Chains A and B, each alone.
Chain A
């Protein structure tokens, strides 16, 4: 065996870029994943002046993907301003895709396997991959396999009208048949998260994002796309009173509290983050915004076990804190992905709960409360929207910039994902 003792290197978050997020079937209704990701990457390339540069790799992904896009990211690179010799690959971990891509690329940088990489993600809920229903698909494959015209005709004759109905991707867990919102509604009830608290969180998300636009915070984090310059979902004039008027959409009856206002809408968009070593950044005249230091993934058994579908971050964070030697209070910023206001609130409540922390997390004491004024200070997914795989890049770039602006500090990222998963990370400067 060759000598192998890599020096762990710091992973700098150099820059980030995204296109404004659009609501499903609105401005980006005819844009493909490929169009959007290319726009996000090219914007990043332009801003950092690295056009024609050969990077170590580009890793990104999409949750809803056409089968023809099997090599989506490599195709995007070939159509981008990057050197065509830049390798690329696709990665998918549901809503955790964007952050997981950054962790993976960051680890390669840390281990000295590459100097620079772009991590990103893209999703479209509008240009969704409608597929043939399995019956029709199987019958057409039979037609294809037939050797003679007669056999082909015979195979074709077995197609029935009902086979023509296409399969449209559903936002539902394959093993439970429940949508993510329905799953979250159960968690909401179990943790007793009130409608008022959810609306309040949603209101603050809109208010904070609107303020971020106001002070120009997003100017070097965003490239306009198809005429859109701001997130389409943002309601700068949102108020708790307006949110309180909405009818619940998940759960039913008197106990339902989750509305379209305190749940993220389906959204289209893309994001990308430039990661590198300090040396690479310096050599290219770029200043690191912050550093990606720790990360953790976790999953829960939401099918047969008793955890909520979106509760995995509640497990991932304490594991990461233990490894980093930190407490939950040792942060200046908390970026908790707002899949649903209730998901954020249930996670925070779980960390404050002595029984959950002892019996489920195996901790002697609860993780405790956080200072809510440090939570999603520049808005969250409720305001910006949540194109599944693009959220990680949005949060990572925004947090790195915020830490840089503040002159230093530490931030926590927590993202819940379908399949009962959670991806979390620490960014520091």
Chain B
């Protein structure tokens, strides 16, 4: 799926027209490629007060070989062009400290490089020590969400809330959010902090080495990108899809040396088949990505029960049943990470998608309902909520609605399947042991449901 408008804006005449008419000007987003540095340029780090979180941020950047400087006395210079700005706000005790945000960012924000990253790290408000601290921490969300809308040229702004004492769990999340891997993740809030241990870093080029990942709907679209990205990170992928897409699946799986599982996830025995395949062929399962999904758009007044149920069955009931069985069957290995695929439709609602939005909001419910219990068993569950992603599915959307979907976000363009896949790879990373119960939108900070 090509975005012709974006192509036009990159041409000579296109630049002229866009500038003079004030049309949306989508900057081509930079994506991470194998072997590229995590951050292609200098990073500026600041904080309210030096905290354990600040030390963890600097340690993570240093370990990842990122070139960074620390703003002295909390005030940055405006000289250098930074690729990323990271601000530790976790030490803010009261609303008085909020001025530090303005003082750190105002001088440097204009110099942020193309496709720059801004990450603010705070303390989880619900876990704050005092009401004053909680108020200040909660305020951060308004700041990052607004700055996300102000940041141009493909830049993104995200907020990470770290639970008190969970700074050691911050690493994988920070790496994801400062890198081009989070190209289309913008205006999001991520919560970090669990009782789970972060394992010692394995090979940074293959964080998922030795892991077995199930990806449903792996034959094409977002599922294909997920399968390839998890394989790139070292996982052995079990690609599942319906027999109708056998050839697509075969091509994808042959390319990444995984195993194929042809089944309909809504079949009564699909959970058992998945568990048996994972156990017999690979000895267990570490990552489960419930990606398979369908749309059957109809206004509710015209909706038939079979159409309604078809969407609910694939998108929600199957992930629910499969997750339940995988937990019961003991096929999940310690530290297993489950990922649901929700949608901004499930958050904001969408005309003609009562069935789809119900199913996708249900996926969010699945994450929220299971996260606490799973944590006690040593497992994690999160969801991505893709916005407008350029796939065959969205290519079928009528032009006007498609254009609106593409432009009505802070990055003025649609995302790519790989953007969703990178987010899932971050959830799947064993170092993301502190990340559970999150629903992260991959939507370029869409106006819908914000």
Contact surface of A with B, Cβ cutoff 8 Å: 185-187, 189-190, 192, 251-255, 304, 306, 355-356, 358-360
The answer to whether A360 and B269 touch across the interface, beta carbons within 8 angstroms, is yes
The answer to whether B243 and A190 touch across the interface, beta carbons within 8 angstroms, is yes
Q: Which of B302-358 touch A at CB < 8 Å?
A: 306, 310
Q: Are A356 and B246 also in contact (CB < 8 A) when A190-B262, A190-B263, A304-B306 are?
A: no
CB neighbours of A252 from chain B (8 A): 247
Q: Are A251 and B246 also in contact (CB < 8 A) when A189-B262, A190-B263, A306-B264 are?
A: yes
CB distance from A230 to the nearest CB of B (A): 37
The answer to whether A355 and B272 touch across the interface, beta carbons within 8 angstroms, is yes
Closest B residue, CB atoms, query A178: B244
B232 in the interface (beta carbon within 8 A): no
The answer to whether A359 and B269 touch across the interface, beta carbons within 8 angstroms, is yes
Q: Are A360 and B268 also in contact (CB < 8 A) when A189-B262, A190-B263, A355-B273 are?
A: yes
CB neighbours of A255 from chain B (8 A): 246-247, 250
Chain B 245-277 against A: per-residue CB contact (8 Å), 1 yes, 0 no? Answer: 011001100000000001110111110110010
Complex A-B, nearest 7 residue pairs according to Cβ-Cβ distance, in ascending order:
A306-B267, A359-B269, A253-B247, A189-B243, A186-B243, A255-B246, A355-B272
CB neighbours of A359 from chain B (8 A): 268-269, 272
Cα distance A187–B267 when bound, in Å? Answer: 13
Name 27 A/B residue pairs within 8 A (Cβ), A-sorted. Answer: A185-B243, A186-B244, A187-B243, A189-B243, A189-B246, A189-B262, A190-B243, A190-B263, A252-B247, A253-B246, A253-B247, A253-B250, A254-B247, A254-B250, A255-B246, A255-B247, A255-B250, A304-B310, A306-B264, A306-B267, A306-B268, A355-B272, A355-B273, A358-B269, A358-B272, A359-B269, A359-B272
Closest A residue, CB atoms, query B265: A306
Q: Which of B273-290 touch A at CB < 8 Å?
A: 273, 276
| Known contacts A189-B246, A254-B250, A359-B268, then 10 further A-B pairs from the complex at CB < 8 Å, ordered by chain A residue | A186-B244, A190-B243, A190-B262, A190-B263, A253-B250, A254-B251, A306-B264, A358-B269, A359-B269, A360-B268
Closest B residue, CB atoms, query A255: B246
CB distance from B56 to the nearest CB of A (A): 46
CB neighbours of B263 from chain A (8 A): 190
Contact surface of B with A, Cβ cutoff 8 Å: 243-244, 246-247, 250-251, 262-264, 266-270, 272-273, 276, 306, 310
Q: Are A355 and B246 also in contact (CB < 8 A) when A189-B262, A190-B263, A192-B262 are?
A: no
Cα distance A306–B264 when bound, in Å? Answer: 7
CB neighbours of A186 from chain B (8 A): 243-244
Cα distance A190–B270 when bound, in Å? Answer: 11
B interface secondary structure, majority: helix
Closest B residue, CB atoms, query A303: B306
CB distance from A124 to the nearest CB of B (A): 32
The answer to whether B266 and A306 touch across the interface, beta carbons within 8 angstroms, is yes
Cα distance A251–B247 when bound, in Å? Answer: 9
The answer to whether B243 and A355 touch across the interface, beta carbons within 8 angstroms, is no
CB neighbours of A355 from chain B (8 A): 269, 272-273, 276
CB neighbours of B264 from chain A (8 A): 306
Most chain A C-beta atoms within 10 Å of own C-beta, residue among B247, B263, B276, B310: B247
Most chain A C-beta atoms within 10 Å of own C-beta, residue among B246, B250, B266: B246
Cα distance A302–B338 when bound, in Å? Answer: 31
CB neighbours of B273 from chain A (8 A): 355
Most chain B C-beta atoms within 10 Å of own C-beta, residue among A187, A358, A359: A359
CB neighbours of B244 from chain A (8 A): 186
CB neighbours of A254 from chain B (8 A): 247, 250-251
CB neighbours of B269 from chain A (8 A): 355-356, 358-360
CB neighbours of B306 from chain A (8 A): 304
Cα distance A360–B243 when bound, in Å? Answer: 19
CB neighbours of B250 from chain A (8 A): 253-255
CB distance from B243 to the nearest CB of A (A): 4
Closest A residue, CB atoms, query B242: A186
CB neighbours of B268 from chain A (8 A): 306, 359-360
Closest A residue, CB atoms, query B310: A304
CB neighbours of A189 from chain B (8 A): 243, 246, 262
Cα distance A252–B250 when bound, in Å? Answer: 12
Closest A residue, CB atoms, query B267: A306
Closest B residue, CB atoms, query A361: B269
Closest B residue, CB atoms, query A188: B243
CB neighbours of A358 from chain B (8 A): 269, 272
Most chain B C-beta atoms within 10 Å of own C-beta, residue among A187, A190, A253, A358: A190
CB neighbours of B247 from chain A (8 A): 252-255
Cα distance A195–B273 when bound, in Å? Answer: 23
CB distance from A361 to the nearest CB of B (A): 10
CB distance from B323 to the nearest CB of A (A): 17
CB distance from B422 to the nearest CB of A (A): 29
Cα distance A360–B270 when bound, in Å? Answer: 11
Cα distance A93–B111 when bound, in Å? Answer: 77
Cα distance A187–B262 when bound, in Å? Answer: 10
Cα distance A156–B306 when bound, in Å? Answer: 41
CB neighbours of B243 from chain A (8 A): 185-187, 189-190
CB neighbours of B276 from chain A (8 A): 355
Closest A residue, CB atoms, query B309: A304
Cα distance A359–B243 when bound, in Å? Answer: 20
CB distance from A315 to the nearest CB of B (A): 12
Cα distance A189–B251 when bound, in Å? Answer: 15
CB neighbours of A306 from chain B (8 A): 264, 266-268, 270
Cα distance A306–B265 when bound, in Å? Answer: 9
Cα distance A192–B273 when bound, in Å? Answer: 13
Cα distance A300–B326 when bound, in Å? Answer: 27
CB distance from A236 to the nearest CB of B (A): 34
Closest B residue, CB atoms, query A192: B262
Cα distance A355–B246 when bound, in Å? Answer: 22
